[in-house]
Chains A and B, each alone.
Chain A
Amino acid sequence: MILRYALLPMLCLFMMACGSSQSKIDEIKARSVAAKPEPMSYEDAVKDWRNNIGVGPIKSIELGEIDQELVATGFDAFDLKCTACHDPYKEKIGPAMLGVTERRRPEWIMNMILNPTEMAKTDPICLGLLAQYNAVMADQRLSEEQTRGILEYFRTLTLEN
């Protein structure tokens, strides 16, 4: 307590004595108190999934008929970069992928793959999943083309497969 009183005049003295060293210190202070907006709750966000495209490079996707070539690209990329943590049909480190296209927007799925680090900071669904699974999704540096392929592959997942 007393020490705090002692340090205050010390600091003043330092500033008086050495003049112009405030600019950088102020800069750092300003950076360290950037405000964070309150995210939506996970439950509300899951209900509202149709309005959530996530954050990342993908702003809108038109889905057509299943493109088998894209599915093949997607299968290869998923097998190489994702299967250490995701099984198509059952929970592994992360959730099963079966039915994901029925519960998330295609844009959200692609942004989750392409931009997982930012998603884990701001997206309310991603934040909720992080809490459930206790594991961050790795950024596996997939290309947009590979990611689009993975989305197409996810669309083909059914229990009959």
Chain B
Amino acid sequence: MKNSIFKIAAFMIIAIGGGYLLTQCGTSSPDKGGGVLSGSTAEEVFVAPGELDEYYAFMSGGYSGQMGVYGLPSGRLFRVIPIFSQDAEKGYGYNEETKPMLETSWGFIPWDDSHHPELSQTNGEIDGRYVFINGNNTPRVAKINLTTMETEEIIEIPNAGGNHASAFITENTEYITASTRFSVPVPQADEKIASYADKFNGVWTFISFEEEDMEIGFQILAPPFNWDLAHAGKGESHGWMFFSSYNAEKANTLLEKNASQLDKDFIAAVNWKLAEEYIAQGKARDMQVDFRNNEWDESTQMATSHTRNTVKVLIPEECPGLVYLLPTPKSPHGVDVDPTGKFIVGGGKLSADMAVHSFDKMLKAIENEDFETTIDGIPVLKYDNILQGIVKQPGLGPLHTEFDGRGNAYTTFFISSEIVKWKVETQEILDRVPTYYSVGHLMIPGGDSRKPEEGGKYMVALNKITKDRYLPTGPELAHSAQLYDISRDKMRLLLDFPTVGEPHYAQGLLASRIKDKQVKTYLLEENKHPYVTDRESRVKVEREGNEVHVYMTAIRSHLAPDNIEGIKVGDEVYFHVTNLEQDWDVPHGFAMMGATNAELLIMPGQTETLLWKPIKVGVFPFYCTDFCSALHQEMQGYVRVSPRGSNVPLSWRLGDDTGGADPAP
């Protein structure tokens, strides 16, 4: 009986499977985007076991506040870099060393919404040093080192609300920009919300990056529109920064309707080189503000949060030539500059056509002072005089454009769920592919720089809606990215892959640029942590009042010390654990029963600190959480907690080694 069921099942598998395969290969089914099952397409994204991907992709984690590191073409996720949100798995924002990274003028904030990663550039080309990303909600910008893939610095943006047009950089990473999506009173004040149009402002922020350190270089006061996205000029337009906006209506309620009235909104063209001259001439006002700049020091392995109190602000009315407004249809979202720097594309999300502005024409219009009007002291250029051309009826809801370096542009259409390829010079539409579904940003490695990698080989669509593309997981579904081949005339879908959080925007680069620069371990000799225990002979436990400091070491497979006695209820116990390993890929974890924060995850040569506040009498275990060796299960210890006021002396033990008073027999 059993056998015959198997036979029938086997026959069915052959029949159905075979038939399916025959229909799949050679033909393409539109729903599956061109036969992903076909052998040739599968091979194009197949990275064999033991082989490495060609590209790194750094994809924002959206409302997770983090960033995912993926490989392309496989779409495999390698690491989630903790940035704006606490990460219990890595101890980030929980251990004593990294807590200051999340300090703001509002105090400690455990979360943010991260949207736009941007790789550092030199001469407009990706240089593989850093990736930056914005925090939207409590306006911040973070810097991540590409050799450690750790967050090294976070700077808060004063005078801003909703830091969306960020973190976009100028072509030598002179500045990283930030701006205000939600205009607010500047300086903040107790104003009626209905006074929005008169009393509120946006700011364009230029974060300087001298000696690889972020400081607020200057801010420029902006009209109270919703400043949405940005991109720097490049090549001949280097020195200018372009910010898109919606809500030229200056609405402060029901924006869905009230900010969609006008036919055109504006892209602001900011001459930041001129801003530097105005500052040198003393035209900037020093404004009293309150914001934090948090920095990670690799040698002490500690973060410090610094309070900053002034910022230089330029006011466009007082600085002729600093800013111009380019009328752009309608509620433009993305503002994207092509690799030559000659063309500025505005993705007018409510417009049937897409405007391409000419930088040359913009300069001529400025020279001729050919202005339509002025808004808050800023000249508005005439649309017809700056327009290079329009992409006619390309799709519904254009959002973002990237480039392949071969004269082609690729624009996403949110409403019609597709990507359209068009020629930059002529605005002629060349090809279109569907996306599944509702694509937001797209990413071509280097596709917003002067030199897209390999002349544009891959393109990733970053989708907002997933629906039926993966096995369903209750009401909340995985977000989705899709990989396309763009090396030929026709774009081809190669792969779907799920992502962490919302893959809002992404950046990519050839793996060869950074793969061999990865830090493998931290040298014990260079560990300047104030509580380092660089060898087992220096293990100790010290009491200062009710604070107890445990100088602990970890190596395969023991924690030293592993018996601690003389701790009392009400103590604050700091475990400073140094990982003595010097080999790659041997982190040790540290978990203490009843700890109200998280675990530690300590890289080789590093020291991390866990604060534990025992509230119960008893004997409690600690152990290593990261499976480190065959004897990982033996990597454990005990803390004896005595009642408050008890006279059990402080002591510790590891095997035959003891310290403090002799532990009780």
Over the window 511-525 of chain B, the binary record of Cβ atoms lying under 8 Å from chain A Cβ atoms (1 yes, 0 no) is: 000000000010111
A84 x B553 contact (CB < 8 A): yes
Complex: how many Å from CA A102 to CA B104?
Answer: 62
Q: Which of A19, A28, A81 contacts B39 (CB 8 A)?
A: A19
Q: Which of A2, A134, A138 contacts B581 (CB 8 A)?
A: A138
The segment from B11-19, B461-469, B542-550 that touches chain A is B11-19
B524 x A80 contact (CB < 8 A): yes
Over the window 1-41 of chain B, the binary record of Cβ atoms lying under 8 Å from chain A Cβ atoms (1 yes, 0 no) is: 00100110111011001100110110000000000001110
A6: Cβ under 8 A from any B Cβ: yes
A145: Cβ under 8 A from any B Cβ: no
Q: How far is the CB of B557 from chain A (nearest CB, A)?
A: 7
B583 x A141 contact (CB < 8 A): yes
With a cutoff of 8 Å between Cβ atoms, the chain A residues found around residue B126 in the complex are none
Complex: how many Å from CA A9 to CA B556?
Answer: 49
B535 x A24 contact (CB < 8 A): no
* Number of residues of chain A lying within 8 A (CB) of chain B: 35
Known A84-B553, A84-B560; contact A17-B25, beta-carbon cutoff 8 A: yes
Complex: how many Å from CA A85 to CA B558?
Answer: 9
A24 x B46 contact (CB < 8 A): yes
* Number of residues of chain B lying within 8 A (CB) of chain A: 46
Instruction: Closest B residue to A23 by CB, please name it.
Output: B43
Complex: how many Å from CA A80 to CA B24?
Answer: 62
Over the window 11-30 of chain A, the binary record of Cβ atoms lying under 8 Å from chain B Cβ atoms (1 yes, 0 no) is: 00110011111001001100
B534 x A80 contact (CB < 8 A): yes
Chain B contact residues: over half helix, strand or loop, or mixed? mixed
A140 x B14 contact (CB < 8 A): no
A80 x B586 contact (CB < 8 A): no
Known A136-B556, A139-B582; contact A21-B42, beta-carbon cutoff 8 A: yes
Complex: how many Å from CA A5 to CA B6?
Answer: 11
Known A19-B39, A81-B582, A139-B583; contact A14-B558, beta-carbon cutoff 8 A: no
Sampled A-B contacts (29; CB under 8 Å)? A2-B6, A6-B10, A6-B11, A6-B13, A6-B14, A10-B13, A13-B17, A13-B18, A17-B22, A19-B39, A20-B39, A24-B43, A24-B46, A28-B48, A81-B524, A81-B535, A81-B580, A83-B535, A84-B553, A84-B580, A85-B555, A117-B583, A135-B557, A135-B630, A136-B556, A138-B555, A138-B583, A140-B582, A140-B583
Other A-B contacts than A84-B555, A139-B583, 20 sampled, CB-CB below 8 A, are A2-B7, A2-B10, A3-B6, A6-B10, A6-B13, A18-B38, A19-B25, A20-B43, A21-B39, A28-B48, A28-B50, A80-B534, A84-B536, A84-B580, A92-B655, A93-B557, A134-B630, A134-B631, A135-B556, A141-B523
By a beta-carbon cutoff of 8 Å, the part of chain A in contact with chain B is 2-3, 5-7, 9-10, 13-14, 17-21, 24, 27-28, 31, 79-81, 83-85, 92-93, 117, 134-136, 138-142
The 10 closest A-B pairs by CB, nearest first: A6-B10, A18-B39, A21-B39, A139-B583, A141-B582, A2-B6, A84-B555, A140-B582, A17-B21, A84-B536
